[in-house]
Amino acid sequence: MKICGVRLLKKNNPPVAILAALMAVVFLGASPLRAAEKPTINITAYTIDAQLDPDAHSLKATARVTFTSLEPLDTVAFQLHGALKVNKVTDSANHVLSGERGTDATIRLTLPAALSKGQTTTFTFDYEGVLSGSEESPVEGLKLASIGSPISYLFYPARWFPMTGYLTDRFTADIHISVPEGYRVAGSGAVTPITQSGGTFEFRWDKPGFPGTIIAGKFNPIAAPSASYVHIWTTDARKSTAPEFADTAAKEFNFFTGIFGPAESVHFNVVEIPDDTLPAYWAPEIAAIPGSRMSSKGNFRLLANTVSRQWWGSQVSPATLNDAWITNGMSRYAELMYLEEEGGQSALQKAVVDVSAGALAYDTIPLSGIGRDDAFSPEFQSSTLEKGALVFHMLRWEVGDDSFRNILKATLTQFADKPIRTSDFMKLAESQSQQQLTAFFAQWIDGTGAPEFTDKYTVYRLGNNKGFRTIGEIGQDLDLFRMPVELKIETDGKTETRRIDVVGTDSQYVVDTFGRPRHISLDPNNWLLKNSPDMTVRIAILRGQQLIAQGDTTGAIGEYQKALTANPNSSLASYRIGEALFNQRNYQASANAYRDALRGDDDPKWTEVWSHIQLGKIFDVTGQRDRAVNEYREAVQTNDNTQGALNEARQYLQAPYKREESND
C-alpha cells in the first residue's frame, strides 16, 4: 500500500507500505515550484465570485484580494494557474494595473504609486479559463484543478485564485460559487443549505486559515449513521460504500478530538474526488478522497492522515516552510497513533519501520533548513512527512505519553489560527515536559543522520544464587547523540527492560537479572530513528519506487541493485527488479528476477504469491499456457490473498493474461 502525472501504482500491484509513500511521493513526477522566497506581502482576505461550467470545463471569476505590504513596494507579484487568463486587475481606487506573466504561474503588477511598509490595500482580479487537465498546472504533470462532469475540483495549491505564501499565508474568505442545476458544492464554512441543488453556493470562513478549496459535483450528501455532524458527498457510483466510510471518518474524528481537543468546526465533510488527481487533499471542514479509495477496509490510514489535518494544517500551520515538519510530521504521526489504537503497539512498530525508510531516504538537509527545497520535491515531502513523524514519535519516547499529549494540546491551543515556528514548538515542549530538550532538537531538527547501534556485553553469574549480572557497552557513530534507549533482556525466566541513557559513541550499562540472559536487544519497540543493514535495503527499495513513479526505470533498477548488494537474498528487491523489467517487456530477465525473489528471504511474505502470478503472466504473453497455469496454481496454493492475489490467480486460471498495448 505505500505510492502520481506522477504515476499511481496499478490496482493489481501488491503493497509496498503504500501508505507511507501515498502522501510523500504524490508530487514526484512534477516539475516543482520554486523554493519559497522572502515574502513581500501578506494576504489577509478574499472575496471571490466564480462560475463553473462543467460542460465547457470553464471557470469565470472575480477575486478581491486584501493584503498588507511587508516592505516598500512598486511592484507586487501573485501566483495564478497558468491556464487562467487575466482580463483586468484594478486597485482600490479602481485604476487598471499593468503587468506581465512569467513562465512559473507568476503575475507581476506595476503599481501607479508605491506602497509603503505596512500599508493595506485591495486589488480586484477578473479572470477566466479552461481547466480540464494538467496543462499549465503550477505543478507540471499534476492535476490540481479540473472542471467537468460529474465532479469539478479546485484545490488551494492549484492557484485558482491569485495567491502568495503557499502553506504559510493564512487568510479569511467569502466565496460564492455558481453551478448548473443538479450540482452541489462543498467548501469551508458553508452558508448555503446542504440540500440546495444548482445556483449559487456561499461559503464564509472568518478565521485566518486555508479555506481555498472548492469541490462541485453531482452529489447527494448523507450524514454518517453514527454522527450527524459528518457528511459524505459521493456520486451515485459510490453510494454503497459511503455510509461505512463516513462512519470510519466519524470514528477517526472522535479519536483525534479526544487527543487534540475540539477541532475548529463541528462540521466535517468527506468529499469524493476523481482518481486522476491527488491521493487525498484537505481543507477546513473537508477531507477529499478519490472515489476508488472510499473503502474502510484498506484506506483507513489515508483517511486518518487527511482527517488529522483539521488540527495539523488547518488549526495550526507553519510560519515558514522550514517549520512544515511540525504539521506535515504530526499529520503522519496522527495516522500512526490511530493505527496503534486500531491494531495495537505491534502495528505501530511495524509501520514505524516503513516510515523510517522514508525519513532517511533523503536525509541530507536538516529539517530546520528544508524550506530551501521545493515544497513539492521528494526531498521536502519525505523529510517533513516521514522524518517529521519520527521526531514526534521519538519525542513521545523522550518525555512520556502524558507530557507528549500535553505538548500537542498546548500547541493547538496557544497557536490556534496562527502560524508556528520551530523555536515556538521547542519552547512549548520544554515547558510542558519540564525537561531540557536542547540535545534532542539539535540532533533531529538541526542535524542529519541516524545512529547505527552496536551492543557488546558479558554475562556473569552472581554468588549465593543472586542471579546474573550483564555488563555491556552500547556503541553508535554520532558523537553528539544523547537519548534514552530501551534495552530488552530475555532470560530463562522474566523478561527485563531498562531505559539506558546513551551519550556519545560509547555508553556502559549494568543490569542484574535472576534468570540467565538468553538474548539482548536494543530499541526492540522501534522508538528511535536508526540505521541498520536492513534499513539500507529498505531505503534503496523506496528510492527505487520513487524513481519508477518519475518514469526513471534505469535509475530505479540501480537502486534495487544497491538493495541486493546490501542483502543478496532480499525477495522484495528481486521482485521490484522483476516488476521493472516486466514493464519494459524484458521477459527473460524479469522471469529470472522473480525466480530470485522466490529463492530469497521471503520478506515480505506476499512476494511469493505475486512472483508466481507475475511468472504466470510472463508465460501467458510468451505463449506458454501450460507453464502459466502451473504458476497460477502455485499462487493459489500459497493461500495468500494480499491485495487480491488469489482472486487474480483464479481469474487467469480461467482465461490467459493478455497485455494491453496501452501498457507501453
Rounded-to-integer distance, Cα 273 and Cα 281, Å: 9
pLDDT tens digits, one per residue of 305-324: 999 999 999 999 999 999 99
Query: pLDDT band at residue 126, thresholds of 50, 70 and 90?
Result: very high
- Average pLDDT over every residue of 166-176: 96
Question: Looking at the structure, do residues 146 and 166 belong to the same domain, yes or no?
Answer: yes
Instruction: Determine how many CB atoms are found less than 10 A away from the CB of residue 599.
Output: 12
Rounded-to-integer distance, Cα 578 and Cα 581, Å: 5
Q: Is residue 510 part of a domain?
A: yes
Question: Looking at the structure, do residues 342 and 203 belong to the same domain, yes or no?
Answer: no
Q: What's the pLDDT score for residue 46? A: 99
Q: Determine the distance from the C-alpha atom of residue 159 to the mean position of all C-alpha atoms in its chain, rounded to a whole number.
A: 20
Domain of 650, in residue numbers: 548-663
pLDDT tens digits, one per residue of 11-53: 344 543 434 444 443 433 333 444 456 889 999 999 999 999 9
pLDDT tens digits, one per residue of 591-648: 999 999 999 999 999 999 999 999 999 999 999 999 999 999 999 999 999 989 999 9
Q: Is residue 284 part of a domain?
A: no
Question: Looking at the structure, do residues 381 and 517 belong to the same domain, yes or no?
Answer: no
| DSSP at 190 | B
Question: Looking at the structure, do residues 66 and 207 belong to the same domain, yes or no?
Answer: yes
| DSSP at 264 | S
pLDDT tens digits, one per residue of 80-99: 999 999 999 999 999 999 99
Query: pLDDT band at residue 5, thresholds of 50, 70 and 90?
Result: very low
CATH code, 58: 2.60.40.1730
Bridge-partner residues for 78, per DSSP?
107
CATH code, 624: 1.25.40.10
Q: What's the pLDDT score for residue 32? A: 41
- Average pLDDT over every residue of 251-260: 98
Question: Looking at the structure, do residues 412 and 472 belong to the same domain, yes or no?
Answer: no
Rounded-to-integer distance, Cα 611 and Cα 598, Å: 7
Q: Is residue 274 part of a domain?
A: no
Q: Is residue 470 part of a domain?
A: yes
pLDDT tens digits, one per residue of 508-564: 999 999 999 999 999 999 999 999 999 999 999 999 999 998 889 999 999 999 999
Question: Looking at the structure, do residues 440 and 458 belong to the same domain, yes or no?
Answer: no
How far, in Å, are 424, 432, 438, 445 from residue 427 at the CA level?
5, 9, 10, 14
Q: What's the pLDDT score for residue 69? A: 97
Q: Is the pLDDT of residue 475 over 50?
A: yes
What domain count does the chain have? 4
Among 386, 421, 444, the domain-final residue is: 444
Rounded-to-integer distance, Cα 108 and Cα 112, Å: 13
CATH code, 403: 1.10.390.10
Question: Looking at the structure, do residues 440 and 468 belong to the same domain, yes or no?
Answer: no
Q: Is residue 61 part of a domain?
A: yes
Question: Looking at the structure, do residues 602 and 499 belong to the same domain, yes or no?
Answer: no
Dihedral, CA of residue 141, residue 292, residue 327 and residue 349, to nearest 10: -120
Q: What's the pLDDT score for residue 33? A: 47
Q: What's the pLDDT score for residue 503? A: 97
Q: Is residue 535 part of a domain?
A: no
Q: Is the pLDDT of residue 468 over 80?
A: yes
* Radius of gyration from C-alpha coordinates of the chain: 27
Q: Quick one: 393 exposed, middle or buried, by C-beta within 10 A (0-12, 13-18, 19+)?
A: buried
Question: Looking at the structure, do residues 186 and 82 belong to the same domain, yes or no?
Answer: yes
Q: Determine the distance from the C-alpha atom of residue 397 to the mean position of all C-alpha atoms in its chain, rounded to a whole number.
A: 23
Q: Is the pLDDT of residue 576 over 60?
A: yes
Q: What's the pLDDT score for residue 37? A: 67
Question: Looking at the structure, do residues 57 and 138 belong to the same domain, yes or no?
Answer: yes
Q: What percent of the chain has pLDDT over 70?
A: 94
- The residue whose grid cell reads 507568476 is 106
Question: Looking at the structure, do residues 495 and 563 belong to the same domain, yes or no?
Answer: no
Among 504, 522, 540, the domain-final residue is: 522
Q: Pick the more confident residue, 629 or 104.
A: 629
Q: What's the pLDDT score for residue 22? A: 43
Among 33-42, 178-187, 398-407, which is the least confidently predicted range?
Answer: 33-42
Q: What percent of the chain has pLDDT over 90?
A: 88
Q: What's the pLDDT score for residue 11? A: 35
Average per-residue pLDDT in the chain? 92
Q: Is residue 19 part of a domain?
A: no
Rounded-to-integer distance, Cα 277 and Cα 373, Å: 23
Residue 281 one-letter amino acid: Y
pLDDT tens digits, one per residue of 404-456: 999 999 999 999 999 999 999 999 999 999 999 999 999 999 999 999 999 99
- Which of 277, 33, 9 lies closest to 143, judged by CA? 277
Q: Is residue 306 part of a domain?
A: no
Among 218, 235, 257, the domain-final residue is: 218
Q: What's the pLDDT score for residue 465? A: 87
Q: Pick the more confident residue, 378 or 661.
A: 378
Question: Looking at the structure, do residues 426 and 461 belong to the same domain, yes or no?
Answer: no
Instruction: With 0.85 as the threshold, say if the pTM is over it.
Output: yes
